[in-house]
Structure 1
Amino acid sequence: MTIFKSLPNRKGTRSAKWDLVKNIFGSDDVQPMWIADMDIEIAEPIKDALIKRIEHGVFGYTITDNQLNLTIKNWLRKQHKWEIDPDWIIYSPGVLTTIHMTILSQTNPGDKILIQTPVYHPFHQIIKYHDRELVTNPLIFENGQYTIDFDDLEEKFKQGVKALLFCSPHNPVGRVWTKSELVKILELAKKYNVLIISDEIHADLIYQPYQHIPLNSLDTMMSNRIVSCYSPTKTFNLAGLQVSYAIVPCKKMREEIASALSNYGMGSLNTLGITALEAAYQHGDEWLSHLIKLLDHNRQIVKKAFANCTKIDVIEPEGTYLLWLDCRKMNLTQGELVKFMNEEAKVGLNNGLSFGEEGRGFMRLNLASPSSYIKVGVDKIIAALDRLS
């Protein structure tokens, strides 16, 4: 973890996380711990590959090829024990882009699309933007653990849901779904002929003893009804390079999504994004191993800090570098809670309500920074709570 001790100075780099602090939180002295990128430098092999590519000096249209496909195939086999056909891969600038194009090409206006709330806020927006009907299957929260309400899910599927926008691992609650949970999802989707768009962008960020299982690795009978979305951007802190891919075994659906991407002018990728993806998947293993240790250490810092706190409960994540804080015992309105974090604690977190009504009383904290930075932020919250009482 020594390689992650220094906090990079990101101010003035057009960083959304740092340079929008005053706009988002109302003051320059708020410590940003919100948007899902890392305050951590990328792995040296990725940086070296990017420098070498830049030194080449020419940045014309860049293709994806079989060598890149095989790099992804090998990564998925090594990381997740999933054997794919390289021909199943399609590329896009981002996972959200793929979701947009899949909804456009595989559903119609007015179709019902289901999400499991509280969940990543763009899911809500994408469905409404494309004039689809938003259906929610709220997760069950009991004894500090989130689970899927399968009875409600089946009832919603019965009512004509066309697609499930699935988050695995789940953002923001940090669940890594078990094999039995995933199998049940697949059984119900098969029974009611529901398309599954599976956002698995956090798949590589898993804590022991949990294991991410690619949804489409479990049931070949459903493979033609699943779009699995991946990217190295969360794993290796490359969001600004805009590169992702999807695994789509169904040839017809793959061609339709690829056509939609092309029709909307998104058929080619950033040259440096392609370079970074290849370097990350070929040479990023050691860096990722260190990162997981750092994130695990950081989640333990937060858990320990709030262990004796009577106002905030930590929902310990099984995966992702995002941590869900249950602040309902503070007995504040959501507006008061946000104001408390911004103005009293001087820490900028994500508003839980943005993830759906089920996020009322919650806040999301980003763990992907040096441990000293995490400790400072958590200590600010604890100190503000002490003043409040």
Structure 2
Amino acid sequence: MSVSPLQALPLELLRQRTSTKWRSYGDDVIPMFVAETDFALAPAITAALQRAVEIGDTGYTPPRPGIDLDFADYAQRRWGWRPDPAKIRWTGDVMMGVVEVLRAVTSPGDRVVVTPPVYPPFYDTVEEAGAVVERVPLLDHGDRWSLDLDGIERALADGARSVLLCNPHNPTGTVHARESLAALARLAHRYGATVVSDEIHAPLTHAPAVFTPFLDAAPEAAAVGYTVTSASKTYNLAGLKCAVIVTGSEETAAVVRALPWEVEWRAGLFGVIANRAAFAPDSDQWLEGLLAALDHNRRLLADLLTEHLPLARYRIPDAGFLAWVDVSAYGWGDNPAPFIRREAKVALHHGPLFGEEGVGHVRINVGCDPEVLRDAIERIGRLAVATDADAGGSSIVETSLVASEDR
């Protein structure tokens, strides 16, 4: 049965928001940089938060808030995997959880593998934990990306102690294959390392891709893995602090239970209330409508780039609402985003922040109204025409659009 796509809120209403997306730049700029979406909250979330305000339920987060059971049920419905609620804890947000787990499983100076191009806070989080970043870039196959398992094995064999995994991957939108995740689990187990998996984009996986929770990928994953995730990206709850830390064995669960008590206290009560409502069955239909809207926009972006920026390179992502686009052919420098913002009045995320693989790239948030997306790409397209004319075409090199429909 087909599901009607969610409709984004009108711009005049969105510009009344006070969040980062809507307060970083003036009203003449289309903001498409930070991972906030432009839809109304799921009705169940709105109702739960309204009720909390009505009765003044604004105190401390309780010692057993119930999110462990709710997430376990949600994972069962969405992915056919039900983690043990006794092995689920909570904290303020995913990066908080990641840094605390890394502190627990590494020693100062240990190396942690990251797989660029990757979410910029991964680099900061490793350093905050006292460890050192070891880069093992994704393999670029032309039509898709994958983990460089040989490279990761070399790093682990050389003494790296952990892998910080992005599953699904940000910014490429790659949903890692079960076979790759299973092989990663076996490698970590063989070398006595750990895998910390950020799975915040998992609910946003688009068919026919199939999301595999790392802890469910292979028997070895339970022994080496720690998953940190939240409803915040999918349901636009970043300002309401709550995430879960999931483990699959008694040994890894004991590591998380031994974290300082403040780790759980960092979860805000409104964050818990909102996450629980997001994970409840009442929000499932809203999620299907969101996925339909994002599916339309990820494909629309391919069409718009073909029409207005034909030298751009883009692969339709497996998951999420973030698009990784190579615009290096237009000669706008290593970091095109500031130039695009200044000249076209469209704010995009800076590619080089994701690693040196991001030179010449931008990340575009397509979690918006299709007409907003169209306006943004048309503006950038006009910029491309203007700069090409100014340069006499000398800065343009031949490349092509890559739109991977089956990944």
Global fold match (TM > 0.5): yes
SS in 2 for 1:307: helix
Q: Indicate the larger mover: 58-67 or 80-89.
A: 58-67
- CA contact 1:111–1:162 (8 Å) conserved in 2: yes
Match of 1:324 in 2: 324
Code of the aligned partner of 1:166: L
Determine the structure 1 residue equivalent to 2:170: 171
Check if 1:7 corresponds to 2:21. Answer: no
String of CA shifts for 1:85-137, please: whole Å, max 9, x gaps: 11010100101000111111221101010100100000111112333121010
Of residues 22, 35, 56, the one that matches 1:18 is: 22
3-state SS of 2:300 partner = helix
- Structure 1 distance, partners of 2:260, 2:28, is 41
d(CA) in 1 for partners of 2:150, 2:55: 57
Deviation >4 Å, runs of 4+: none
Which 10-residue stretch deviates more, 338-347 or 232-241?
Answer: 338-347
Question: Once the two structures are superposed, what CA deviation does each residue of 1:231-262 show, in whole Å capped at 9, x if it has no partner?
Answer: 11111111111111011133444344344342
Q: Which residue of 1 aligns with 2:247?
A: 248
**Distance verdict in 2 for CA 1:197–1:2, change over 3 Å:** closer
Give ranges in structure 2 of 5+ residues lacking alignment.
389-407
1:271 to 269, 285, 288: 269
Distance 1:128 1:63 in 2: 31
Amino acid at match of 1:328: S
| Aligned counterpart in structure 1 of residue 279 of structure 2, from 278, 281, 299 | 281
SS across alignment from 2:196: strand
Q: Is the 8 A contact 2:48 2:273 kept in 1?
A: yes
Change (3 A) 1:115 1:268: closer
Deviation at 1:306, TM superposition (A): 1.3
Q: Which moved more, 1:194-203 or 1:311-320?
A: 311-320
Structure 1 residue 60, shift from structure 2 partner: 2.3
AA of the residue aligned to 1:123: F
Q: Which runs of 5+ in 1 are unaligned?
A: 23-27
The residue type paired with residue 281 of structure 1 is F
Aligned length: 382
Query: 1:295, 1:189 → 2: CA distance?
Result: 34
Aligned in 2, Cα 1:358/1:60: closer, same or farther, shift over 3 Å? same
Q: Which moved more, 1:142-151 or 1:296-305?
A: 142-151
Q: CA deviation at 1:223?
A: 0.6
SS of the residue corresponding to residue 363 of structure 1 reads strand
- What is the distance in 2 between the residues matched to 1:350 and 1:125? 17
Mapped to 1, the partners of 2:252 and 2:41 lie a distance apart of: 34
The CA deviation at 1:213 is 0.5
The alpha-carbon deviation at position 67 of structure 1 amounts to: 4.3
- 1:25 is matched with which residue? none
Deviation, structure 1 residue 71: 1.6
Deviation at 1:12, TM superposition (A): 5.2
The one-letter code sitting in structure 2 at the alignment partner of 1:320 is G
Q: Does the 8 Å CA contact 2:111/2:134 hold for their aligned counterparts? A: yes
Instruction: Write out aligned runs for 1:1-389 (5 A).
Output: 1=4, 3-7=6-10, 9-11=13-15, 13-21=17-25, 29-63=28-62, 65=64, 67-262=66-261, 264=262, 266-282=264-280, 283-308=282-307, 309-335=309-335, 337-389=336-388
Retained in 2: the 8 A contact 1:175–1:318?
A: yes
| Distance apart, 1:170 and its partner CA | 0.1
RMSD: 1.8
CA contact (8 A) 1:315 1:326 kept: no
Q: Distance in 2 between matches of 1:98 and 1:92?
A: 6
1:21 shift after superposition: 1.8
Aligned partners of 2:5 and 2:290 also within 8 Å? no
- C-alpha displacement at 1:388, in angstroms? 2.0
| Contact 2:5/2:291, CA 8 A, preserved across alignment | no
Letter in 2 for 1:280: A
TM-score using structure 1 length: 0.93
Letter matched to residue 40 of structure 1: F
> How many percent of aligned residue pairs carry the same amino acid?
27
Question: For the residues of structure 1 that align with 2:265 and 2:254, how far apart are their CA atoms?
Answer: 12
